[in-house]
Structure 1
Amino acid sequence: MGHRAKGELRTRSGCRKCRERRVKCPEQRPICGHCKRLGFTCRYEIKLNWQDVVLFEGHDGISQEPQLPEDLLVSIQSWMFLNTVQADFNLDGVKTDIEDSDHPSRQAIDFDLDYQSDALTPYPQYLSPFRLGEAEGYLWSYFDQFMTPQIVIDPGFNPYRHIVLKLASCFREGPLFQCVLAAAANQLHSTGRPEYKSIMWLHRAKALRLLRAQIAQLASPEMEETGCRASKDQVIASTIMLTFFEISKDCSDSWTVHSDFARSFLSSRLRDVGGMSAEQEALLYFAVTYFVSHDILAATGGTLVEAAEMVSEMCKSTNNSTILGITGCTKDLLILISEITQLSLLVGQSGKKQLPPAVQQRRDNVERHLHQLRQDIPGEFGSFKSEFAMVAEVKRLTTILYLYSRIDGAGPHEPHIIRITSQILSILPKISLRTHTGLWPLFIVAVLGVRPECDEDRKFLLSRITELYETRQLANVNKARLIVEDVWKLRDLRPEDSQGWSILQGRRHGAISLA
């Protein structure tokens, strides 16, 4: 090893991970270039050494080595977050002489937990220091820093970070905290880290056990009202994250079990809106939007029957800006998609080629509303307003395509289907693939709009679906691709038997999430 040149000083201002790896840190804030590229948690802080603690004990009381991934065993001592200042615990709201922006430990804090509260909320108004093991801290930071930005269109409106993580941090002994860690471990496992498989199942099992206990507590007559509200919020947020986990992992039909439970639980919770705090109301609207959008869009995929009446009523009750921020379209459009699905069931029951007059009138009303629908994007979405506008418009056009295909039985060679497909394909390249909001248009136009002879359009759609999958390796995106490929093969082999939406009926892949 060469000697250090005269006058050269060894810098200690780099991030902790670069210093551990003994490489020169580029020192960008808040995440340096090395950590961003390699997916490490980047912290600019002094690492304190603490006394070792025993993590596992056998039945005979003898300590055992933890079976954890190698990268999580770098420093397995228990450690405490010290990145706080007096203001975090100042119950009187008195400002101290330390400004947050100038305090070095505030720059190093892992969690953005500016927490507002009022008299109705059961959550603590001020944070207290809490302990995380190295393994838990890694998973939490991974979900916060690398997963949440890729789930939403507008980073400024991120309910996973601003609602779910805040609630999880306040109740670390609850199921939601375990759900977050399970989701992070699953993501790491799906991106080629097999050592996280056991960690993933461990946290999922803990989450399910704690969630069952939380639901059982709600039935207890001795439970106080404040604790009851907190438990209900834990149940709602945990069900969101368990559904998130199942869809991300393999998108098997198990996610619909959580969705069915959430639908009935949220319906009763909506009756309590008048007595909720702003935080609880925000969580409720987020949850309703999440499950309503999954139910409505999954029913367009051919294997899931939507609980139409309940879903429509829940959709009408929620906040339009929340729906727009999460789904990229207005609640009016979601209700119209649901109406098309309901009409298709009536068409199937009639068994006639010509629609009954009442059904025909409803169908014509839907078509008229779709052509006249204006999805105005509020100025609050700022620089993302134009992207929201494109996502909303492509979803409106996709809904028209869905109407003609499902109710009218129109196939890809119909002139109006060709025209709408061309319009959708002209907008899709302009929409980024940062989030999964574009999956439904890609899926519907691929299976219902593209003609077999249009190889270039097929290549484009397949490449977009593949690129979307590569952003986070979501299992539902991979399942969507498999269904698209099956539909294309069937159209190529038997074009006369594969007109309209009926080509999707009875697919062997099971229920698919397209939200």
Structure 2
Amino acid sequence: RRRRYAPRTRQGCLTCRARRKRCDNQRPICHTCTRINAECRWPDKLQISDDRRGANSLQNQDRSTVILSNLESLDTETNNLDVSLATDLNTTEASLERRLLTYYIHTFIPQVTLVQSSSNFFTSLYIPMAFHHTGVMDAIIACAAAHLARSVLGPEKIQELNAVVIQRQQQAREFVTKHTQRPERPEWEECKLEVVVVLLLLIGLESQTGGRSLRWMQRVNCVRQLLQTYPATATKMWSEWDADCIQRHFLHHDVMALIMEDVLDSETKTNLSNRSDFFQRRNAAQGVDCLLGLSRNLFSIITQLRSLPNRDSQLIDMDAPEFLKLETDFSNWKYDHEMASTLDLNVRLDLIALSECHRLAALILLYRRYPSRLYCLPHLASQIMCIVSRITPSSGVLSALTPILFLAGAELNSEVDIALCAARLKSIREASKMMNIASVEEVLRAVWKERLQNRVRIDWLEILRARRWTFSLG
């Protein structure tokens, strides 16, 4: 069938013009629109006046109609663009959060913990908690971004990750402020331990970024007060294992704070250091601690050093019962043989070596307070370096050696041991990306320079006091 061509008409109804069909110009409804049952629309009649103002008015009206139509179209496109951008940004942030959370679980945690097991509270407690409390998630993402920023190449990626660290750290702080300044809220008791977890993670973030201010010690003291003020709530709202995990994490940071307390002046030290008396509960932990290894009980004993006089005090008594008891406890302390027997042989040997290093480092902390025992320090430090040399270079135990190498390195006299200590610290820093180790290296270099070149024995406390530094060794 041959198709007939219908030329476009410039007359007739608007419907036929739009459809490009011939119109018979029958008003009010043409035959074509009647046949197809369409709405027949006709253009409005124009009243053309001889006055030019009428034509201008009609022209302006048409122009206004066009502009209004364009604006409406632009607003619609802009709104659609805003929604699209917001969706893209949310998708990008969610994707970045997933990547950082994956990095935290599979890369960060294995590098900063001793063993990977079901007793590792970073994975078994903190990760599930992060999906219920935004503050915990923000702190975890900040830690992951800060660690990853030390590994990526390119200034743009580093800048992006540092921006994430700043943003998430601020949100985590706001979470803590929200739940500590208004404790009258009903959910206060339920969120208390989450607040403690956020503070503990932020203390760890200070170690990652190499912070040298008092902020981390203030947070340690804040956690101490929370755990001492609300022990009944922690027991009631949480399982014994959950509360014990958080207390063990705090115990690690508490001992790191104890090492630095003598740097502070007496007034600041009084405000920031209090004895932690809540570790007398039955140990609910199962397996090796991911931060303390086999030395959990030893760390609890180390906190008792706060009961002794200050190293600058005139009340130091070598025959004091407190000193003799601690010296005996440190000298006779033994790790948990039953717990160690369940481990792989190589892991067991490394953890046993670490626990012995912890014991010798505890004696260094004790003897530093008593001038008549200072002669023991170089020998203890050399013993530590001998044990450290037996630890597997790829072992996860290396992440816990920073405080040990700091205390031992400051007492070394042998150039061979000093070189070994410096090499171990460098390898740990490059592997773990923890920037507090850079501060440790800087202080020890100053100590070694005076000792080897000028034959002057300078204490690391004097260097930190002169520079007004306090940094976490955790």
Fold match by TM threshold 0.5: yes
Of 250, 262, 266 in structure 2, the residue corresponding to residue 291 of structure 1 is 250
Say whether the 8 Å CA contact 1:259–1:291 is kept in structure 2. yes
Of 325, 329, 333 in structure 1, the residue corresponding to residue 298 of structure 2 is 333
Of 248, 253, 270 in structure 1, the residue corresponding to residue 208 of structure 2 is 248
> Structure 2: how far apart are the matches of 1:392 and 1:250?
26
Letter of the structure 2 residue corresponding to residue 395 of structure 1: H
For residue 252 of structure 1, give the secondary structure of its aligned residue in structure 2: coil
- Is residue 2:122 matched to residue 1:160? yes
For residue 248 of structure 1, give the secondary structure of its aligned residue in structure 2: helix
* Distance apart, 1:356 and its partner CA: 3.5
* Distance apart, 1:361 and its partner CA: 3.3
Of 74, 95, 100 in structure 2, the residue corresponding to residue 134 of structure 1 is 95
> Structure 2: how far apart are the matches of 1:66 and 1:429?
56
* Distance apart, 1:291 and its partner CA: 2.5
CA change 1:495–1:330 in 2 (3 A) is same
Q: Matches of residues 23-102 of structure 1 in structure 2 within 5 Å? A: 63=82, 78=91
* Distance apart, 1:514 and its partner CA: 1.8
* Distance apart, 1:455 and its partner CA: 1.8
Of 391, 402, 416 in structure 1, the residue corresponding to residue 365 of structure 2 is 402
> Structure 1: how far apart are the matches of 2:79 and 2:452?
65
Q: Matches of residues 79-478 of structure 1 in structure 2 within 5 Å? A: 133-156=94-117, 157-171=119-133, 174-192=134-152, 193-194=157-158, 195-216=160-181, 218-220=183-185, 223=186, 227-253=187-213, 254-278=215-239, 281-301=240-260, 302-304=262-264, 305=269, 310-317=274-281, 319=283, 321=285, 324-345=289-310, 347-350=311-314, 355-356=316-317, 360-379=320-339, 382-383=343-344, 384-408=347-371, 410-411=373-374, 414=375, 416-432=376-392, 434=396, 435-448=398-411, 450-451=412-413, 454-478=414-438
Which of 1 and 2 has greater Rg? 2
* Distance apart, 1:446 and its partner CA: 0.1
* Distance apart, 1:149 and its partner CA: 1.5
Say whether the 8 Å CA contact 2:146–2:165 is kept in structure 1. yes
Letter of the structure 1 residue corresponding to residue 251 of structure 2: V
CA change 1:341–1:231 in 2 (3 A) is closer
CA change 1:376–1:271 in 2 (3 A) is same
> Structure 1: how far apart are the matches of 2:259 and 2:166?
31
Say whether the 8 Å CA contact 1:442–1:461 is kept in structure 2. yes
> Structure 2: how far apart are the matches of 1:202 and 1:308?
28
CA change 1:134–1:442 in 2 (3 A) is same
CA change 1:507–1:325 in 2 (3 A) is farther
The alignment's TM-score, normalised by the length of structure 2, stands at 0.70
* Distance apart, 1:299 and its partner CA: 2.6
Say whether the 8 Å CA contact 2:381–2:409 is kept in structure 1. no
For residue 371 of structure 2, give the secondary structure of its aligned residue in structure 1: coil
CA change 1:491–1:168 in 2 (3 A) is same
Letter of the structure 1 residue corresponding to residue 472 of structure 2: S
For residue 311 of structure 1, give the secondary structure of its aligned residue in structure 2: coil
Letter of the structure 2 residue corresponding to residue 403 of structure 1: L
Q: Deviations over 1:333-373 (max 9, x none)?
A: 2244333454241x53326xxx447x633222222222211
Q: Deviations over 1:452-475 (max 9, x none)?
A: xx2221111011111111122112
For residue 150 of structure 1, give the secondary structure of its aligned residue in structure 2: helix
CA change 1:138–1:375 in 2 (3 A) is same
* Distance apart, 1:170 and its partner CA: 2.8
Say whether the 8 Å CA contact 2:241–2:284 is kept in structure 1. no
> Structure 1: how far apart are the matches of 2:270 and 2:335?
24
Q: Deviations over 1:436-485 (max 9, x none)?
A: 2111111111002x10xx22211110111111111221122111111111
Q: Deviations over 1:62-113 (max 9, x none)?
A: 639989xxxxx9x97739xxxxxxxxxxxxxxxxxxxxxxxxxxxxxxxxxx
> Structure 1: how far apart are the matches of 2:83 and 2:170?
21
Say whether the 8 Å CA contact 2:190–2:237 is kept in structure 1. no
Q: Deviations over 1:14-51 (max 9, x none)?
A: xxxxxxxxxxxxxxxxxxxxxxxxxxxxxxxxxxxxxx
Say whether the 8 Å CA contact 1:179–1:204 is kept in structure 2. yes
CA change 1:404–1:143 in 2 (3 A) is same
> Structure 2: how far apart are the matches of 1:379 and 1:144?
25
* Distance apart, 1:166 and its partner CA: 0.6
The alignment's TM-score, normalised by the length of structure 1, stands at 0.65
Q: Report which of the two has the higher share of helix.
A: 2
* Distance apart, 1:309 and its partner CA: 7.9
Unaligned runs of 5+ in 2: 1-77
Q: How many residues align?
A: 378
Of 453, 474, 482 in structure 1, the residue corresponding to residue 442 of structure 2 is 482
RMSD: 3.3
Say whether the 8 Å CA contact 1:367–1:400 is kept in structure 2. yes
> Structure 1: how far apart are the matches of 2:121 and 2:471?
23
CA change 1:66–1:463 in 2 (3 A) is farther
Unaligned runs of 5+ in 1: 1-58, 68-72, 80-131
Letter of the structure 1 residue corresponding to residue 293 of structure 2: G
> Structure 2: how far apart are the matches of 1:441 and 1:282?
28
CA change 1:284–1:252 in 2 (3 A) is farther
* Distance apart, 1:392 and its partner CA: 0.7
Letter of the structure 2 residue corresponding to residue 319 of structure 1: N
Say whether the 8 Å CA contact 1:233–1:283 is kept in structure 2. no
CA change 1:390–1:306 in 2 (3 A) is farther
CA change 1:241–1:421 in 2 (3 A) is closer
> Structure 1: how far apart are the matches of 2:279 and 2:210?
27
**What's 2:23 paired with?**
none
Say whether the 8 Å CA contact 1:214–1:235 is kept in structure 2. yes
* Distance apart, 1:501 and its partner CA: 7.1
Task: Report percent identity of matched pairs.
Answer: 16
> Structure 2: how far apart are the matches of 1:503 and 1:495?
16
**What's 1:23 paired with?**
none
CA change 1:320–1:329 in 2 (3 A) is farther
